[in-house]
Amino acid sequence: MIVEEDSSVEDEMHLENADGKETLKRQLHFSDAETSKHPTPSGDSDRGNRNNGKTVNFIPPMLKEGVLTVKIEVEDICIQIKEWETTLIGYIIGDNPYELQMLEYVKKVWGFVELPRPMILRNWDVDYELDADMFSQISIWVKFPRFLVRYWSVTTLSKVSSAIGIPLVTDGFTANAEKISYARVMFDMDISKVLPDTIVVETPSVP
C-alpha cells in the first residue's frame, strides 16, 4: 500500500538543509507492505475512503487481431509523471508506523530522523512498482569495533568490507582517524541473505 493524500497540502513539505535553507519540495509515501498486521488508526479513514474518489469514465477498448487492446497515450500519463517526479518512496523494515504520526514526525525532525528500525527512502521513477523484495538491497552503515588503525588504509578497508557486501564509503571519523575505537563503512547489502558468522582475515607479520 502506498499512502498518499492525493493533492492535499498535508502530503507536501519543504525540506531544509542543515543551514536552514529551503530545498526541493518532496512528498513522502510510506509503505506497510508485508509488515506488521496490527490494526492502525488508518483503518477508519480507509473505510471512508470509498466515498472520496474520482469519477472514472467508460472508454471503449479496441479489438486488434481478435485481442481486446487498451492503448495508453503519452498525454494520459504526463500529468501523473509531473505530479510524482519529486516524490520519495519510504519503506520501514519490520514495522508499520501510523501514517499521520510518521508524516508529522518527519516534518518536524527531517534534518535528523532516528528510528528503531531501518528507514529506506528512494526516488520515484516512471517504472516504479511497489515490491517489498526490491528493498532487500539497501545501503547500511557497519561498525568494525576494535579495528586496529594500521588496517585503516582504503585498500585494507575495501578488502575486509568486501567480505560482507559492496563497500561504498567510510564515515568522516574513520577517514580522518578521529575515533580510533572503531571503523565505520557504508555498504550496499542484500539484507535477505544470511551474513557469515566468521570471516578469516590473513594479516602479514608486523616488522
If asked whether residues 142 and 124 sit together in one domain, one would say no
Per the structure, the count of domains in the chain is: 2
Final residue belonging to a domain, choices 130, 156, 180? 130
pLDDT, one tens digit per residue, over 58-71 is: 889 999 999 999 98
Residue 31 has pLDDT above 60, yes or no: no
118 and 22 in a common domain: yes
The dihedrals phi and psi of 176, each to the nearest 5 degrees, come to -105, 5
Q: How many CA atoms lie within 13 A of 161 on its CB side?
A: 25
Q: Which of 115, 130, 145 is the last residue of a domain?
A: 130
Q: What value does the mean pLDDT of the chain take? A: 72
Measure the CA–CA gap between 43 and 124, rounded to whole angstroms.
Answer: 26
Percent pLDDT > 90 in the chain is 16
Please tell me whether residues 72 and 169 are part of one structural domain: no
Whether residue 204 lies inside any domain: the answer is: no
Instruction: Show the domain range for 163.
Output: 137-190
Q: Residues 133-188: pLDDT tens digits?
A: 556 777 788 999 998 999 999 999 999 999 888 899 999 999 998 888 999 999 88
**Percent share of the chain, pLDDT over 70:** 57
**pTM value?**
0.46
Q: pLDDT per residue over 90-101, tens digit each? A: 766 655 556 666
Domain identity same for 78 and 39:
yes
